[in-house]
Amino acid sequence: MITPIYIALLAILFLFLSFKTIQVRKRLQIGVGAGDNPELLRAMRVHANFSEYVPNSLILILSVELLRGHFIFVNCLGTALLIGRVLHAYGVSQAKENLKFRVSGMLLTFSTMLLSIVSILYLSIM
Supply the pLDDT for residue 69. Answer: 96
For residues 94 and 10, what is the distance between their CA atoms, to the nearest angstrom?
20
Q: Identify the segments of the chain with pLDDT beneath 50.
A: none
pTM, two decimals, is 0.93
Supply the pLDDT for residue 33. Answer: 83
For residues 41 and 23, what is the distance between their CA atoms, to the nearest angstrom?
13
CATH number of the domain enclosing 69: 1.20.120.550
83 lies in which domain range? 3-125
For residues 1 and 34, what is the distance between their CA atoms, to the nearest angstrom?
40
Q: Please count the structural domains in the chain.
A: 1
Cα–Cα distances (Å) from 24 to 27, 39, 41, 91, 116, in that order, read: 5, 8, 10, 17, 35
Supply the pLDDT for residue 78. Answer: 98
Cβ-contact 2, 78 below 8 angstroms = yes
Supply the pLDDT for residue 18. Answer: 97
Please state, as a whole number, how many other Cβ atoms lie within 10 Å of the Cβ of residue 88. Answer: 23
Torsion, Cα of 80, 85, 90, 93 (10° steps)? 160
Supply the pLDDT for residue 48. Answer: 96
